[in-house]
Amino acid sequence: MDSASLIIPTYKRVFYIDRIIRSLLSQDISKLKEVIIVDSDSNDGTKDLIKAYENNKQLTIIYDNVVNSVARKRNRGIEIATSECLIFIDDDCIPLDGFINSHLDNCKKTGMRINCGNIYFYECFVKESNYIRYRNSRHIPYICIDGVDKKLDYKTIVTMNMSIRKKDIIDNKLFFNEEFIGYGMEDNEFGYRASKIGFNIVSNSLGIVHMENSNAMDYSKKIYHTARDGVKRFQRISPVAVEGLAYSFYFEEEYPHKNVLMRHALKVFRLFFSTYVANILLHLALLTDKIKIPYIRVLYKYAYASYYWRGVKDRDKAYQSLSNVKVSWYGKK
């Protein structure tokens, strides 16, 4: 194994794609065989940008278009890739120096493994923004004890910075599940199936910078759609697997290990969660984002839990209408 393929699903993110390419060109990419960018006919100049790099001798870029689904885009990248080491990043993630070689080295290690790297925000953003500081606190740091990388699981898998051997995917038919529509959970479901057939999901130090382009209010919509669409599909595959996911114990009715008393107690508990109150708090958070406020994390946790609960309540009606429509992770058909 002497080369790697980098797979990037994208849609209307030309600025970030340019940043990714520039970052790669500033590094040692002698072992990067190709960058596979899978789009959905973005009209923001993405195709023109890639064409501008077509004569660059340092980098081979393959551009393709499929339906606007992150699972389909990753699978298309797997199909196209000609290297054994497959590296996945999202289109708003900037690879740090040594990124390619680190992933390649980890793919050479024995056993069926999925390598998940660190995720960072720029330090200046973390210092200046309460919201970014909260998001940064949710990332799981790289831990290595006595030379052994920390093991993760399907609940903490990081597909925005991940590598895996192509042979392991093909031999085990471990493609991303294209039944996932809407936002979220296709990565957790991928990790769940991988864990069930014996893959080790491993934390590594190789990092990317997440160019977070949303604010506190935008993120609430992602939480809502994750609960409404993604978790519902995951439940159909395995209700038990949903246990342990964020918010699931408090807001999921189909939770096999709840007793009657606990179910009644949680019904009362849920009465305190309201998206009306959450919206007020999130607008307050937007106005005070640059001011350090004690216990701000509690505010975010309440607001996002409220949106998760709203997604659960809206699930059945929305799921019925989504069943015959392919909707992307970006909310576009």
pLDDT at 242: 86
- Residues β-bridged to residue 86: 5, 164
Q: Show the tokens assigned to 198.
A: 């014996």
d(CA 252, CA 235): 10
Residue 195 is predicted with a pLDDT of 94
pLDDT of residue 49: 96
Q: What is the pLDDT of residues 89-138, one digit of tens each?
A: 999 999 999 999 999 999 999 889 999 988 988 888 888 999 999 988 87
Q: Residue 85 corresponds to which amino acid?
A: C
Fold (topology level) of 4-210: Spore Coat Polysaccharide Biosynthesis Protein SpsA; Chain A (3.90.550)
- Which position has the token pair 């100049």? 45
Question: How much helix, strand and coil, in percent to the nearest 5, is found in the chain?
Answer: 45, 15, 40
Q: Which residues of the chain have pLDDT under 70?
A: 140-149, 182, 255-257, 318-333
* pLDDT per residue as tens digits for the range 81-98: 999 999 999 999 999 999
Integer CA distances (angstroms), 298 to 276, 281, 285, in order: 17, 11, 12
Can you tell me the distance from the alpha carbon of 60 to that of 67, in angstroms, rounded to the nearest whole number? Answer: 23
Domain ranges of the chain: 4-210, 216-322
100-to-4, 75, 240 alpha-carbon distances in Å: 7, 20, 36
